[in-house]
Structure 1
Amino acid sequence: MAVFSLSRSSARDWHGRGHMIPIMVTGAVTAGAIALVAYLLWPTWGTESSSSPERLPVSIGGTLFNVPTAAIRMKIQRHSGTQERIDLSFSFPSLEPPEAAKHVSADAVEEAMQPIDRIFLSISAHRDSLAPDTRVRTIYPRYLEQASTPGQDGLTMRAFRDNTPYGGEDLFFANSPGLTARCTRDAATPGMCLSERRIDQADLTFRFPRSWLAQWRDVANAMDHLTLQLHGPR
């Protein structure tokens, strides 16, 4: 009788342990999943900048550029390899990557408005589009006024005619150093200038405030310097 009772007790113990094993396995899997999610979602604000390389090799249209990581404006573009387009900004006149933007409250927006102190650069694959220098020679003259206006220190301006694709804009050009820029006029917002150049299979588009043309030689030299820094000698 005692043997029978002992056998029944052992069977109950084994049966109880049999039920506990799946529960223990499920608990371990759940704990592992929670740990994985916590690891993936753990904030990395303090370590991102220190772990990123200072410069990234980026191929655009098959043309290689060596890009400062901190100058890349969009986080999604901060990786090496092939890209269709990349957007950069540099402080002027230092040409260093700008400092990280600080959070500004809605109440302080007007007080935070400052003159633009950056030169913006977009690099994109040209996909056999018309070259910038060809556009200047063959397209722009169709829409320009005949008269030109001599500017300061060797800079010349020609206005685009009204009711043309470039109405309300002016074309500035100089030879030494070379500069060609199409600029909007000051209105409710300050005028901005666009200057383009092609390197192999990529087009570089620089943007800067029109007011900088007062020091146009510095701006032209800055664009040449950035081009050399990013791509090397042509």
Structure 2
Amino acid sequence: MRSALSAPTGLDRAGLDRAGLDRARLDRDGVRPGRLRAAGRGSPRAAPPLLVPLDRRLMLGGALGLVGAVALTGLAATWLARPPKPAGPVVVGTLAPRPVVLPAAWFVRPAAGTDGGRIDLAIPWSELTGSALPGLMRVTATRAPETEAPLSPARRYARFLTAEAQPLPEGLMRRRFRAGTPFEGEDLYLAEGEGGRFAARCTTGASPEPDAACLSEVRIGALSLRLRFSPERLPAWSAGLAGLERLFGSEP
């Protein structure tokens, strides 16, 4: 009997070499001896994960589709959030003794309704005067107070005005406000003497809203109209006033 510590024989060395080759093959194939033994005992061997390569074109197409869907959703939400505009003419029946029919496009706040005591309009000068004048006249219409006739503009502002008076075309007279008064930086324009039919205050310097630098208040029938417009439209005051009287007057 050989000792356990005796040197291996040639047969033993051959067996060891075969065992080493078998272990190397198993390591190369990714199989551990422990797993092989487990497989021999009937345990199922776990399959390695399957890696599927992704097509970059498919990934890019999916990303673009997602971006497009988000953009369309935003556009749809914006469109649905817009207040609906009336499709045809609007009949205002609460301000004047007779119903007033106005184009829907003139209303500044269509969602506010027309059953209250005020309407806000932006009327093209071309439609108001029947000419090719550009720009808009902004009109706020309310019920006129039931009071006595107010003072003429010339008398109302007399204590704030200088003595200077400058005649202008179209029957207008320009008066200047004195420095230190509440109306400093404005000029007063009067029509037909004391401005009983038409008067307007206009800023003389730069205005944040040049198209609304002039302010005028007129009364037509049972309505009080507050007007804002560009100083360039002052020569057309008579045609503009005639258009307002045609729209809001007591007679159709």
Larger Rg: 2
Matched, 1:57 2:92: yes
Q: 1:61 to 1:134 in 2, by over 3 A?
A: farther
| Distance in structure 2 (CA, Å) of the matches to 1:63 and 1:165 | 38
- Specify the alignment match of 2:186 in structure 1: 169
**Structure-to-structure mapping, 1:75-86, within 5 angstroms:** 75-79=110-114, 81=115, 83-86=116-119
- Specify the alignment match of 2:104 in structure 1: 69
| Distance in structure 1 (CA, Å) of the matches to 2:159 and 2:182 | 10
Counterpart of 1:74, as a letter, is: R
Counterpart of 1:187, as a letter, is: A
Q: 1:44 to 1:143 in 2, by over 3 A?
A: closer
Contact 2:174 2:187 in 1 (8 A): yes
Is 67-76 or 203-212 further displaced after alignment?
A: 67-76
Counterpart of 2:192, as a letter, is: N
Counterpart of 1:52, as a letter, is: A
- Specify the alignment match of 2:38 in structure 1: none
Counterpart of 1:185, as a letter, is: T
| Distance in structure 2 (CA, Å) of the matches to 1:220 and 1:140 | 22
Q: What's the TM-score once normalised by structure 2's chain length?
A: 0.54
Stretches of structure 1 that go unaligned for 5 or more consecutive residues are 1-41, 97-115
Matched, 1:203 2:203: no
| Distance in structure 2 (CA, Å) of the matches to 1:232 and 1:67 | 15
- Specify the alignment match of 1:94 in structure 2: 127
Percent of counterpart pairs with the same letter? 25
Contact 2:139 2:226 in 1 (8 A): yes
| Distance in structure 1 (CA, Å) of the matches to 2:161 and 2:238 | 22
Q: 1:134 to 1:76 in 2, by over 3 A?
A: farther
Contact 1:56 1:69 in 2 (8 A): no
Q: CA deviation at 1:231?
A: 3.4
**Alignment match of 1:180 (pick from 183, 199, 202):** 199
| Distance in structure 1 (CA, Å) of the matches to 2:198 and 2:214 | 11
Counterpart of 2:202, as a letter, is: C
| Distance in structure 2 (CA, Å) of the matches to 1:202 and 1:149 | 31
Stretches of structure 2 that go unaligned for 5 or more consecutive residues are 1-78
| Distance in structure 2 (CA, Å) of the matches to 1:54 and 1:153 | 34
How many residues align structurally? 166
Q: 1:188 to 1:43 in 2, by over 3 A?
A: closer
Contact 2:96 2:248 in 1 (8 A): no
| Distance in structure 2 (CA, Å) of the matches to 1:154 and 1:227 | 19
Q: 1:61 to 1:74 in 2, by over 3 A?
A: same
Computed over aligned residues only, the root mean square deviation of the Cα atoms, in angstroms, reads 3.4
Counterpart of 1:93, as a letter, is: S
Counterpart of 2:102, as a letter, is: V
Q: 1:147 to 1:57 in 2, by over 3 A?
A: same
More relative contact order, 1 or 2 (CA 8 Å, 6+ apart): 1
Counterpart of 1:91, as a letter, is: P
Q: Secondary structure at the match of 2:184?
A: coil
| Distance in structure 1 (CA, Å) of the matches to 2:107 and 2:127 | 16
- Specify the alignment match of 1:125 in structure 2: 143
| Distance in structure 1 (CA, Å) of the matches to 2:180 and 2:146 | 28
Contact 1:182 1:193 in 2 (8 A): yes
Q: 1:92 to 1:86 in 2, by over 3 A?
A: same
Q: What's the TM-score once normalised by structure 1's chain length?
A: 0.58
Q: CA deviation at 1:78?
A: 3.4
